[in-house]
Structure 1
Amino acid sequence: MSTTADAPATTVQRSVVPALIAAMRPYQWPKNVIVFAALIFTTGDAWQPRDLDSLWPLLWRTCALFGLWSLAASATYLLNDVRDRENDRLHPRKARRPIASGEVSVGLALAVAAVLTAVALPLTFLLDTTAALILAGYSALMVAYSFGLKTVAILDIIILTGGVVARAAAGATAIDVDISPWLYVCSSFAALFFATSKRWAEYRQLGPEAARHRPALEGYSGDVLGQMLTITAGGALLSYALYTIESARVPTNGSMALTLPFVAFGLFRYLLLLNGERKTDAPDRILFTDPQLLLAVAGFVITALAVLASN
């Protein structure tokens, strides 16, 4: 009898609730902070007058969107892990994922994914119709991604990038503000960089077995991924530098460029870790757990808010 649904012998079994929460990947929820970008980098109209009565409605709507997007994203993670469970069992780290290891059953994962989606989408419609349509489109695209689009080289990275841009767009529509085209450019290059770095890390870690775990990796080579990483890293840094100076939505005195050192440090620190002591870690775990990167993010946010508040 087949034992593919059984947990590997090395897996330490947890009770179903902690395992289910782990399968929802709450550690990836910080990705959804991009919905706050429109609140920070928008036209001056959203900040005038700068009093709490004007700010709180925008803030609570964005916070609500962050929570709802996190629920919808968790639903896509559950579906994706159900689809990938066989390949994940071949991966040295992903074999310990709750669904691949058998801690969470396929039926339970799919049921919870359906519930999360059924909660997130209607509530987002109550918040803002356009934001809900964007979230629904994202969810549909991620279903298509899980069911086959993820196997197409380059397209898999483009889809992941689209998810980041969708978050930025939803954040803007939820608070009914225009968003700078520069922000779309910056978020696109940043997302391309991180998506490429994820594929590059997987390719290096798995070597000749990479395509068995992720079929799209058969369409890449180490040299191509390295070139893509260099191009997207340079594009991300350059586009943000131009944004801080050229965008009509930031202070005209160029003071937003004060945030550039934090962006540069974070980018280079990430590349250093990806090529060094944490080269076997998933890129998103590096991003959300390295103290120096977290300090760079905090410094960026504080500096950006200070610049916007003083102009």
Structure 2
Amino acid sequence: MRLIFAGTPEVAVPSLEALLASDHEVVAVVTQPDARGRRGRTLHPSPVKEFALAQGLEVLTPLKASDPEFVEQVRGLNVDAGAVVAYGQILRPAMLAATRLGWVNLHFSVLPAWRGAAPVQRSLMAGDDLTGATTFLLDKGMDTGPVLGVLTERIRPTDTAGDLLERLAQAGAPLLAQTMSGLEAGALIPEPQSADDVSHAPKLTREDAYVRWERPAHVVDRQVRGCTPAPGAWTTLPDGQVAKLGPVSPRLDEPATVPGQLREADGEVLVGTGTHPVALSWIAPAGRKQMSARDWWRGARLPESAALGEA
């Protein structure tokens, strides 16, 4: 089939690579426009754009994929279908109709669970044991289209969102390529999603990433892992400054302390929660590089009553 591919971040690259290695022809790649770095001076291409250009592919970077002119441009490519992985824009009905067979999305959850922008993060934060990836036909709803293929993946106890997303990106790439082949052969029958067990995964906000130490240790653990690496779990230091945190480890053998209270035990920096304390792995105070929690503790020279979070 003649395909057009839409994707932006690094997790979309394995899928594009799998399609290029298949019998299908990728005639163009759509990705988000170049974005400015943290300091706002230099424009940087998306990982998908960098990879696509290295493969000699035509790359399209519309500001709005819904613009009628761009829809007509895609229609003029005469593609059979589109493939989407974490593109970052909603494809409107006019764009969905610009290909012969529609657009197939690879979504990193087992739909109808976790529809939305942050399925992996929300799944981790909810404490799920199992997740996966789904290929489905896009429709006008948010991840509501009929399902074409599914795979499952066990969530490991120490998985961060970054770890899990990387595994799903690698596992989902062949699923997407196989789905496109099945669609071409007419061998796949789209199955409507169940109306039961629907859950939603909105994009994480800064508030979602703020650690509330009064919660149980296992909830704090899930929250921090779900926010790693982005947007990054954070707290406030005893001096009121903001700091980002790496994954924490519940210490069930340690006695409960005041939520947020800091102490050192057996070479670890512990923080009290609503139940047992958790051990910090690393910390990055505002304006400073990431460092081990132990190094930070030694340099901070805090009093025994010091605590993280709101006083």
TM-score, structure 1 length as denominator? 0.24
- Choose between structure 1 and 2 for higher RCO, CA contacts under 8 A separated by at least 6 residues: 1
Relative to its length, the structure with more strand (as a share) is 2
Structure possessing the higher radius of gyration over alpha carbons: 2
Relative to its length, the structure with more helix (as a share) is 1
TM-score, structure 2 length as denominator? 0.24
